[in-house]
Structure 1
């Protein structure tokens, strides 16, 4: 996502450039980790907020999420949420922010990247049932 925004900004997309200018995390990734492998192998250690377990965002004092939607099943999950809160089901529930040629996430990781993500994201991998097999 960050690299797509960077490329759009370089091609003259002013909104993409503004979004990058307002986000110091994206600026750091573009400057210090221009390739996905570099980001995984070094960025997960160097950028503190990136290594935080995502599952920790699903609970707070006295509350826990009772539904977790997934990008992989975005449309069905959005329809489930819409039905659950009693809204009329729209014809279009939105789009997923993924490239049209989206690859299975397992195919873009080298063995070293898999080891790193498995170590850093152990809680999330277990909680969300992701793996590299």
Structure 2
């Protein structure tokens, strides 16, 4: 099992060549690729604020993530929220904190190029 961060989800969907060779191999080789549902929140905020344009609606993007790419969406439950609050990490980005808490709960690596995450969480694929 691997967990994609939000950028890697977007790159996997629209700009595959932006992914590192190691990340692309891990995604293609994994029988269980996941994302946190907070990634849809993060993408939706960027779309709403005109910082990101999708080629289709948010609803279509969510559906294609599940059906075309076969990515499992992990909901952010109360335990993940609590774990994200209790991380001994000064980083304030709620999406990053939820991603790390989710990966910790699932005991899986995060596919990310984000140095802030990789400096804190030891199980990174990039």
Normalising by structure 1, what TM-score?
0.27
The structure where strand makes up a greater share of residues is: 2
Normalising by structure 2, what TM-score?
0.28
Higher Cα Rg: structure 1 or 2? 1
Greater relative CO, 1 or 2 (CA 8 Å, sep 6+):
2
The structure where helix makes up a greater share of residues is: 1
